[in-house]
């Protein structure tokens, strides 16, 4: 199987302070991969190294076989990046933003115009091609960023908080676009603070294979696997008990085990059973919720 992203013993140090500490993992071509971690875990630095914006202090990073330090241009040609911050030019039209990006990537005509039309149609912005970007809604701007990132036909798409600040309907539409791109074979690396987003996008769907989820903390990868693998490893059943104003959580291998434990309690006041989810596992591993 082709390897899309390979990190081996990667370190990044700023002023003698380790930010990424001996990080190693692999993303296969066509995979949906969610990278999670609390603020300060080293996620952003990892993404900066993967996108050639920051050089690792030690270790090796490859994008489709290209070393990000010694072959940065070839590595960047494989990448499409959708940042959390809106990075399209509001004073240009939708088409002008796409045209500028195509020229920067040296895509010649008539191929450039064909690709612009193709991706604007795909993200449902073809009818707004002559609109100034500053007149678009937040969801439209995010869809334009996705179209622009796909224009040079990258092999992997990096999505950094792709739905932050968007209404639920727009979020769902973007999820559909992201899933569809992955089903077509596009490799995806997703970072987000929304647990439901990771559960939805990295879950098995159709005939597809479930994506994997990597959890970082203190510069290290502390857990890696599919959602089902993580639930199996940490417990699929959860007993919640209210203690004062807080809830205590106890994991059990299965939901049946959790129910059995609850039924054995003489005083069930403030107690309940439910299946565990990704946020439960995240908090159990990192000791805190995402900010």
3-state secondary structure at position 127: helix
281 Cβ contact list (under 8 Å, min separation 6): 215, 223, 230, 231, 234
143 pLDDT tier (thresholds 50, 70, 90):
very high
Res. 141: pLDDT tops 90:
yes
Taking residue 85's Cβ as centre, other Cβ atoms within 10 Å add up to 8
The separation between the first and the last C-alpha atoms of the chain, rounded to the nearest angstrom, is 36
47 pLDDT tier (thresholds 50, 70, 90):
very high
Question: pLDDT averaged over the chain?
Answer: 92
How large is the angle between the packed helices 168-183 and 138-150, nearest 10 degrees? 10
Model confidence over 162-199: pLDDT tens digits? 888 888 999 999 999 999 999 999 999 999 888 999 99
The closest alpha carbon to 120, from 100, 79, 150, belongs to: 150
Res. 148: pLDDT tops 90:
yes
Q: What pLDDT does 287 receive?
A: 82
Section 263-271 average pLDDT:
91
**φ, ψ of residue 283 in degrees (nearest 5):** -65, -40
The closest alpha carbon to 133, from 190, 125, 192, belongs to: 125
Q: What pLDDT does 289 receive?
A: 54
207 pLDDT tier (thresholds 50, 70, 90):
very low
Q: In angstroms, what CA-CA distances link 118 with 103, 129, 154, 193?
A: 16, 12, 15, 31
Section 147-156 average pLDDT:
95
pTM over 0.75: yes
* 208 in Cβ contact with 182 (< 8 Å): yes
Q: What is the CATH number of domain 3-231?
A: 3.40.50.300
Residue with tokens 């959890």: 215
204 Cβ contact list (under 8 Å, min separation 6): 210
More confident residue, 268 or 27: 27
Section 256-270 average pLDDT:
93
Give the range among 83-92, 129-138, 144-153 with minimum mean pLDDT.
83-92
Res. 33: pLDDT tops 70:
yes
Model confidence over 104-127: pLDDT tens digits? 999 999 999 999 999 999 999 999
CA neighbours closer than 13 Å in the CB half-sphere of residue 247:
12
Q: What pLDDT does 247 receive?
A: 87
Section 207-212 average pLDDT:
77
Q: In angstroms, what CA-CA distances link 207 with 2, 28, 174, 197?
A: 20, 17, 20, 20
Domain boundaries, the chain: 3-231, 236-275
Section 202-224 average pLDDT:
84
CA neighbours closer than 13 Å in the CB half-sphere of residue 283:
14
- Helix intervals (H) in 31-128: 43-50, 72-77, 94-104, 111-122
Res. 39: pLDDT tops 90:
no
Length of the chain: 291
**φ, ψ of residue 201 in degrees (nearest 5):** -75, -30
Give the range among 18-22, 55-59, 194-198, 285-289 with minimum mean pLDDT.
285-289
61 Cβ contact list (under 8 Å, min separation 6): 5, 6, 7, 8, 10, 49, 50, 67, 68, 69
Distance of CA 207 to the CA centre of its chain: 21
14 Cβ contact list (under 8 Å, min separation 6): none
Res. 266: pLDDT tops 80:
yes
204 pLDDT tier (thresholds 50, 70, 90):
low
């Amino acid at each position: 199987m082709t390897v899309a992203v390979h990190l081996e013993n990667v370190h990044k140090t700023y002023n003698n302070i380790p930010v990424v500490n001996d990080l190693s993992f692999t993303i296969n071509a066509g995979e949906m991969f969610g990278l999670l971690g609390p603020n300060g875990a080293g996620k952003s630095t990892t993404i900066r190294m993967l996108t050639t914006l920051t050089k690792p202090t030690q270790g090796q990073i490859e994008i489709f076989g290209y070393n990000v330090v010694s072959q940065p241009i070839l590595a960047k040609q494989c990448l499409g990046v959708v940042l959390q911050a809106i990075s399209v030019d509001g004073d240009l039209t939708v088409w002008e933003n796409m045209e500028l990006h195509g020229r920067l990537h040296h895509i010649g005509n008539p191929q450039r115009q064909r690709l612009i039309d193709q991706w604007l149609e795909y993200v449902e912005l073809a009818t707004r091609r002559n609109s100034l970007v500053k007149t678009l809604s937040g969801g439209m701007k995010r869809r334009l960023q996705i179209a622009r990132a796909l224009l040079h036909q990258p092999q992997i798409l990096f999505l950094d908080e792709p739905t932050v600040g968007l209404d639920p309907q727009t979020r769902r539409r973007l999820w559909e676009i992201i899933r569809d791109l992955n089903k077509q074979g596009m490799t995806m690396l997703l970072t987000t603070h929304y647990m439901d987003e990771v559960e939805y996008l990295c879950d098995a769907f159709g005939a597809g294979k479930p994506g994997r989820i990597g959890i970082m903390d203190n510069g290290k990868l502390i857990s890696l696997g599919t959602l089902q693998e993580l639930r199996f490893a940490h417990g699929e059943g959860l007993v919640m008990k209210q203690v004062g104003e807080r809830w205590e959580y106890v994991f059990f291998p299965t939901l049946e085990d959790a129910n059995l434990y609850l039924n054995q309690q003489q005083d069930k006041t403030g107690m309940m059973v439910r299946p565990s989810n990704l946020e439960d596992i995240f908090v159990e591993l990192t000791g805190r919720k995402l900010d």
